[in-house]
Chain A
C-alpha cells in the first residue's frame, strides 16, 4: 500500500499507523474501504481523509474549503457521529487506533464523502430563513440595542456555519422527509428576534406548516453535536412558544 520511507524521517522506524475505514460509493450504494494512514501530531480527521486522497486514491471525493471551522463544508460522520472534520483531532475520536469516516446522514450522497446539500439549503428558504427587509435604502438604519432581550436571543444563534451537523444528527429528519430540521428552524428563530427583520408573521406561518417546528421531539441531538455549541433545540422551543402564543391570540 504505502511506503514507510516516504514518511519516516529516519528517526522512527516503526511509525504508528491508523486504521481508517472510509465509505466509498454513490447514490446507488457503497461500502467501507480500509486504509492505513501514518499517525501525526495534531492530525485532524480532514488531514486523514486528505492524506488518503493524496497518497492512496486520488479518486476519493470529499468537500472542504477553509480548514478552520468557518465555512461549514467538511462535516462527515466520524465513528457514527456527525462532526466538523477540520477541527476534530483524530486522537480524540480514535478507538483502538481505528476510525470510520462516512458521508453525513439524512442527505443524498453524490460520491464517497460528498453529500448533496440542496435539500438542507432548500429548507432554509422554506423556513423563511432569509432576510425580510423592513426599510428602503433612503431610510435611516434601524438601531440595534445589543442589550435588548430579543437581540440577546438572536445572538445565541447567529454563529451557525450551515455545516449540517445538526441536520445529520436529527432522527426526526430521518423519519420525516418534510421536516425543516434544526438549522433552518434556528435561522428562522434568529430572524424572528432580529430588529432589522420585518417578517415575523411570515416566519411564524412558514414554521407552522406540515414540516414545521411542531414535528420536533426535543431529542437534543442537534444541540449535543453542534460544533459551535449552539442550541437549536432551544430555538425550536422558542418557535413553538411563539406559534402557540399567536394561536391563542388569534382565537380570542
Chain B
C-alpha cells in the first residue's frame, strides 16, 4: 500500500525512476553476457536471439524498452528541474515523460510483432 504522504504524482515519478533504474541495472549484466557470446559461442547467441520470436519475450522486450525510455525522459526532466530555470509544471512534465516513453516503446513493440 502507498502511504498517504506519498500518494501524489511527483512521488510516483520518483518511484518510477528508481524502479526503472534498478531494473535496467539488473538487466545490464545479462545484456552484456549475451552479446559477448558473439566472441565465445556464436551458435548459442543465435539460439538466444531466436527466443525473441516468442510472444512473451516480445512483451518482455517492450517492458525493457519502456524502462529505458521512461528512465531517459524522466531523467531529462530531473536535469531540467535542477539545472534550467525553474518551471512550475513538473507534474505535467512528469506525465509527458511517461507518455513519451509509451510512445517510444510502443513504436518498438509494433516493429517487433
Contacts and interface: CB of A to CB of B under 8 A. Distances in A.
A219 B14 contact: yes
Interface residues of B, number: 16
A250 interface: no
B69 to A, nearest CB: 20
11 contacts: A80-B3, A80-B4, A80-B5, A171-B6, A217-B17, A217-B18, A218-B90, A220-B90, A224-B8, A237-B81, A240-B83
B3 A220 contact: no
A235 B17 CA distance: 22
Nearest to B17: A217
Contacts, number: 49
Given A237-B82, A237-B86, A244-B83, A220 B10 contact: yes
Nearest to B15: A219
Nearest to B18: A217
Interface string A230-246: 00001001101100100
A150 interface: no
Interface string B51-93: 0000000000000000000000000001001110010001000
Given A219-B11, A221-B10, 4 more contacts: A80-B4, A218-B10, A237-B81, A244-B83
Nearest to B4: A80
A187 interface: no
Interface string A72-92: 000001011110000000000
> Which among A80, A219, A244 has the highest number of chain B CB atoms within 10 Å?
A219
Interface of chain A, helix or strand or loop or mixed?
helix
Nearest to B84: A241
A169 interface: yes
Contact of A221 (B6, B78, B81): B6
A198 B5 CA distance: 37
Nearest to B12: A219
Given A234-B86, A238-B86, A241-B83, A218 B5 contact: no
B90 to A, nearest CB: 7
Contacts of B18: 217
A241 B84 CA distance: 8
Contacts of B10: 218-221, 224
A217 B14 contact: yes
Given A218-B81, A219-B10, A81 B5 contact: yes
